[in-house]
Structure 1
Amino acid sequence: MHHRKSTRRPGGWSRRRRLLTTLPIFIVLFGILVTVSTLTDVQWHDDATGRTITPATPNTAVAFANPDDVPLPALGTYEVRDRYVTIDVTRASTGEVQKLNVHVREPVDAGNGLPGVVFLHGAGYGTCDNSFSDVAKAMGTAGIVTAVVDKPAWSTIDINRDYPASADAYDAVIDYIRGLDAVDDGKVGIYATSEGTWISSYLLQDDPDVAFQILLSPMVFTPRESLAFFVAQDFTLAGAHGGYQSFVRRVFNIDAALFGLTNLDIRTLTPEAYAIPTFVAYGSRDVMTAQVDGLHTILDMCERAGNPDVVIRSYRGGNHVLRPGDLTALGTPYAGNYVNDLIDWIGGTLAGLDPICEQVAGAPIRQSSAVPTLRAQRVATIYGVVLHILTLVLLIASAAVALVGATRRIRQGLRRKEPVFGFSHGFGRSLALLVMATGLTLLLFVAAMGRIIMSVVNLAWGGTPAHDPGIMYWSWPVAQVVCALVVWEWSGVLARLIEVASARGILRVPPRKGAVREIVTGEQPVLASRRLGRVMFWLAGTAMFAVLLVFAFWGLFSYAEPLVY
């Protein structure tokens, strides 16, 4: 006679009972993590993607009606003389003084009444000698006085730039150029690129007498919106899984004001910033700017300011600084006929001539999606900061306890059998496996995000996307599956803990007489016979669950269709 093999451990539960206990624990834990992912999610917009503006003509030339044959600037007409001056500028908010070197280029024997241009830097720490040299010299050969200055940075860095103070510093250089005998003080304009187009907005509100402006790859929108669009778009171009967009959404909804950083939400989009003749230049390979929305917004601002003098050009093959190829390559010329177009536009505009060219011309202008409308989320920011700090503290504390255990083992001698942690019922092995699985998932995320960031930087510098995204794509679904399995295993461990505690009589009401004493002394342990083992289990277990909460905060437990740009 054959007997059915029992599924019950000696003194323990059947498999069915363990499953019925594990399942609700899993549902609760997984539900908590999914809820965190849902509550911290940020929905940007539902706008259509893949918009394109095709200009009426690919010809970027700027032409004016000139019936009286007014002499206009022409490239290569004059020799150029270089000289340097130093200007002291003061940061109004702190009184800090900075000495700025200014590289002035003047056409030789060009007479008086000349136009002038002052250059405004983009991000970074440009100097008067390593920025704008070729275009400034080219303008000089056309009879335009130019001034390139060290970027006014004071004691700030990129994330806390003082844009109003920067505008004051550049305006001081404008005043210097206006005061030169050879320059017509009513014909001095500015040339701003990228981040400099935020500064130019402050400058024009304070100094409406600037004659014209050239905006190269203008950011147009707030830093929060502009940077969020740039990063989200480049995540997609790099080939990252759509799930990683949740990282972008959460990062750019941070309330940075909690940390004293207010630049994310500066409002520079005003009609006053577009009330003067404006030349806008985009590159078709620029992956940083929202060109379609930017074009429409600039035209709208110019119309609201009553300014019809706006020309927009898109240059095929140009990157964010309008040069073909890699931004790091030195000596690369500008794309297309940009420099000639620019000089022609300055000359015709300052001469008051009527344009006879298309307002928008050049290569097709493309944009992957609309610029997101974002706002700072204070509650989510506070929760995220507290969670990450708490997780770090727990991980450090767990590592410290593990180190204590390792030290004790070494002191006892590696051959001795006396346990350090004294784990029982397989909890030590389960804890080690779960810590390893959670840690490897964390390392997978760090590796994937590192690869994505490197790819985004490569794209921003004019590189091309990787043929095979590799870890940038498969890491997200793999991590989701592994984390679900980790939660299931943790549920099994907790169910086993309940099983053993029940067998020890600790879960009775009241507990079995002597049960608490037996557990504390290690005579009849539930987790471990040693206090260090019990501390290690709960500390490491809490740390691992905190790591899962971190994953949930960044959207890993969101199983909705990812937003792909």
Structure 2
Amino acid sequence: MVALPIFIVLMAVLIGVSMNTRVKWDYEPTGQHLQTLASSTAISFANANGEGAANLPARDTYEVQQHYETLDVREPSTGDVQHIKILVREPKAPHVSNLPGVVFMHGAGYGTCDNSFGDVATALSSAGIVTAVLDKPVWNTNDATRDYPGSAYAYDQVINLVRGMSNVDAKKVGIYATSESTWISSYLLEQDHNIAFQVLLSPMVFSPRVALGFLAAQDFALAGAHDGYQSIVRRVFSFDTAMFGLTNIDLNTLNPQAYSIPTLVAYGSKDVMTAQVEGVKEILKNAHEAGNRNVTIRSYPVANHVLRLGNEANAGTPLADNYVNDVIAWTNGTADGLKETTPAIAGSELYQSIAVPTDLHAQRSMTIYAVVIHLLMALMLVVTLIIWLVAVIRWIVDRVRKRPRHSTLGFQNGFGKAMLTLSVVTMAMLVLFFAGFGEVVMGVVQLAWGSAPTDDPGVMYWSWPVIQIVCVVVVWAWSLVFRRMIEVASLRGIAQWPMRKGAVREIVRGERPVLATTRLGRVLFWVSAATMFTILLVFAFWGVFVY
């Protein structure tokens, strides 16, 4: 009659938190397909006169020579200057001129001109294309604060450098953008309307909030994570990051200008990071709005997000079969203004597992609550740790001085053992929660690098229901503890009306204690109990009590 109502109230609070922090997410339609017009990815062009196939330079037509250039590029928004090194590769043919040029744009990370795009750039240069790979322009930014408009300005400086080379036709300089840099290319095409063409490798297409939300949701599912861990994605990508000065997540980079020039889009069938079906539809829609019908789509079987055949973490992982040859043929043919004779969409069938969450948006109230409850948990954990250390030190001193064993904390009626047991169990669940989530993250990273999903998801699946069950047991156990407190308090004259005179004074002074005879013991109990409840509130925020 006493414990059950307490349990119901506590569970109602925790379930209410889980329910009110849920983010609706429509995964439909699932399993989307887009048929290609041919299985071969080969790209060919007609001669300028329209008769027969064009004979374009292929790989290894020329020897390749290289040299370095340097630029001091100023970030427009801050004035910071980055000394950028540029590796230029060009055909070793002194009498060849009017060549096309390609500037490579980095994806996520901190690539340099020496460790990025080496095989692709060398292959293109051996086919008569001047290439330039630069150190990624980052200035003082990080992955969360990347300056995309500023990066576009930096890449444009390199484009102008290539345009000014004596063996390059300034009207034939394009870009090769991959993954994250396909957001930058949108700004670049707004700034520079003279870029001749673009190769987009695994374009993200949608805004960072939507594109990354899709990526995480799909990969959590593929990795085998429990639905509970998958629900974390919805909350994370509904945070209002603008509160912390992080506005990149809601950049609007999907516009017709971004696809207004001849475009080659390349995907890998094993790419688990991009929404390929809806992405292609949006690219074509925006290109057509811009009056551009010159869009070529290629999908390569077995290839991953960076068009490699296997785990990207392993050195020397090869590129997809024929990919480089296709890029060479398309670049040379497009730069010469020839008409493509092969199908616009070809290769393996395009597939997308779930719908793109285009309705994702910032939720400020949920974000504020999340920050408050997590900071409160961290603060309470620190305070609890300090008090426990004080208790341990006091216990050691009392043992040295040979004081009675119960003089340190003086817990009564079994409350000390109950508090210790429940605190240890709750902390163990917190560790298990982080372990399960960490396993999910590692699984997603492995997928991104090109590994196959594991057959046995292990802790990333079973840890969630274990946490749920134990949390409910812990709440019931705390209900029994509080019931026992009420029982003991009633024996001390507290839980009665009218209250026995002097009862409160006796309990506060430890003369007739409910919890402990010492102030340290009572403080330790209540601080520990409050800390464990904040941990349960954190669990509730992430959906432990509803999924």
Tell me the TM-score normalised to structure 1 length.
Answer: 0.94
Distance between the aligned counterparts of 2:198 and 2:105, measured in 1?
11
Pairwise mapping of residues 204-283 of structure 1 onto structure 2 (< 5 A)?
A: 204-283=189-268
**1:77 equivalent in alignment to 2:61:** yes
Please list, as runs of the form range in 1=range in 2, the aligned pairs for 1:395-410 lying within 5 A after superposition: 395-410=381-396
Please name the residue that 1:548 is paired with: 536
Distance 1:80 1:482 in 2: 64
Which residue of 392, 412, 417 corresponds with 2:378? 392
- Give the match for residue 158 of structure 1: 143
Q: SS where residue 407 of structure 2 aligns? A: coil
Using the TM superposition, name which of 434-443 and 211-220 deviates more.
434-443
Q: Deviations over 1:473-493 (max 9, x none)?
A: 111111111101111111111
Structure-2 residue corresponding to 1:50: 31
Q: Where do 1:392-541 residues align within 5 Å? A: 392-413=378-399, 416-417=403-404, 418-541=406-529
Gaps in structure 1 of 5+ consecutive residues: 1-19, 560-565
Question: 1:334, 1:518 → 2: CA distance?
Answer: 79
Name the structure 1 match of 2:97.
Answer: 112
1:507 is displaced (CA, Å) by 2.6
How far is the alpha carbon of 1:409 from its aligned partner? 1.2
Query: Following the alignment from structure 2 to structure 1, what is the Cα–Cα distance between the partners of residues 176 and 128?
Result: 16
Following the alignment from structure 1 to structure 2, what is the Cα–Cα distance between the partners of residues 511 and 390? 35
Report Cα offsets for 1:93-132 as digits up to 9, x if no partner.
1111111111111112251111100000001111111111
Match of 1:368 in 2: 353
The aligned amino acid for 1:62 is I
What amino acid maps onto 1:30 in structure 2? M
Rounded Cα–Cα distance in structure 1 between residues aligned with 2:346 and 2:335: 21
- The answer to whether structure 1 residue 380 and structure 2 residue 366 are counterparts is yes
1:226-260 Cα deviation digits (max 9, x unpaired): 11111111111111111111211111111111111
Quick one: which amino acid aligns to residue 59 of structure 2? L
**Which of 185-194 and 371-380 deviates more?**
371-380
**Following the alignment from structure 1 to structure 2, what is the Cα–Cα distance between the partners of residues 445 and 336?**
42
Q: Distance in 2 between matches of 1:502 and 1:370?
A: 59
* Offset, 1:216: 0.3
After TM superposition, where is structure 1 displaced by more than 6 Å over at least 4 residues in a row?
Answer: none
Q: Is the 8 A contact 2:101 2:172 kept in 1?
A: yes
1:351 corresponds to which of 336, 347, 350 = 336
DSSP 3-state at the match of 1:308: coil
- Per-residue CA deviations over 1:117-173 (Å, capped at 9, x if unaligned) read 000000111111111111111111111111000100101111111111100000000
For 1:352 and 1:116, the matched residues in 2 are separated by 14
* Deviation for aligned residue 1:46: 4.6
Distance 1:28 1:119 in 2: 60
2:103–2:158 CA contact under 8 A, matched in 1: yes
Does 1:32 pair with 2:19?
no
Q: Distance in 1 between matches of 2:76 and 2:160?
A: 18
Query: Which amino acid in 2 is paired with 1:346?
Result: T
Q: Distance in 2 between matches of 1:40 and 1:436?
A: 27
Query: What's the counterpart of residue 79 of structure 2?
Result: 95
Distance between the aligned counterparts of 2:46 and 2:91, measured in 1?
Answer: 26
- For residue 416 of structure 1, report the CA deviation from its aligned partner: 3.3
Partner letter of residue 416 of structure 1?
R
Structure 1 residue identity aligned to 2:134: V
Equivalents in 1 of 2:7, 2:241: separation in Å?
Answer: 36
CA distance in 2 between counterparts of 1:32 and 1:73 reads 70
Q: Aligned partners of 2:4, 2:523: CA distance in 1, in Å?
A: 26
Report the Cα offset of residue 71 of structure 1. Answer: 4.6
User: Which string of whole-angstrom CA distances, capped at 9 and with x for unpartnered residues, describes residues 447-476 of structure 1?
Assistant: 111111111111111112222111111111
CA distance in 2 between counterparts of 1:126 and 1:86 reads: 16
Amino acid aligned to 1:365: L
Among 309, 312, 319, which residue is 1:327 paired with? 312
Q: Which residue number corresponds to residue 178 of structure 1?
A: 163
Show structure 2 runs of 5+ residues with no match.
none
d(CA) in 2 for partners of 1:191, 1:394:
50
2:175 and 2:124 map into 1 onto residues whose CA distance is: 13
Question: What is the CA–CA distance in structure 2 between the aligned matches of 1:200 and 1:533, rounded to whole Å?
Answer: 62
Q: Is the 8 A contact 2:398 2:408 kept in 1?
A: no
Shift of 1:21: 0.8
Q: Give me the whole-angstrom Cα distance separating, in 1, the residues matched to 2:252 and 2:34.
A: 26
Partner SS for 1:151: coil
Deviation, 1:367, is 1.1
How far apart are residue 412 of structure 1 and its match? Answer: 1.3
Q: Is residue 64 of structure 2 the alignment partner of residue 64 of structure 1?
A: no
Query: In 1, are the aligned partners of 2:209 and 2:249 still within 8 Å (CA)?
Result: yes
Aligned mates of 2:63, 2:367 — CA distance in 1 = 57
Task: State the partner residue of 1:6.
Answer: none
- Whether contact under 8 Å (2:73, 2:154) holds in the other structure is yes
Name the stretch that deviates more: 510-519 or 347-356: 347-356
Partner Cα separation in structure 2 for residue 176 and residue 56 of structure 1: 39
CA drift of 1:510 comes to 3.9
Identity of aligned residues (%): 57
Pairwise CA RMSD? 1.3
- Shift of residue 73, structure 1, vs aligned partner: 2.6
Report the residue type matching 2:317 in the other structure: T
The separation in 2 between residues aligned to 1:46 and 1:57, in whole angstroms, is 29
**SS class of match (2:203):** coil
Separation in 2, partners of 1:87, 1:64: 37
TM superposition shift of 1:43: 0.8
Is the partner of 2:152 in helix, strand or coil?
Answer: helix
| 1: CA distance, partners of 2:450 / 2:303 | 9
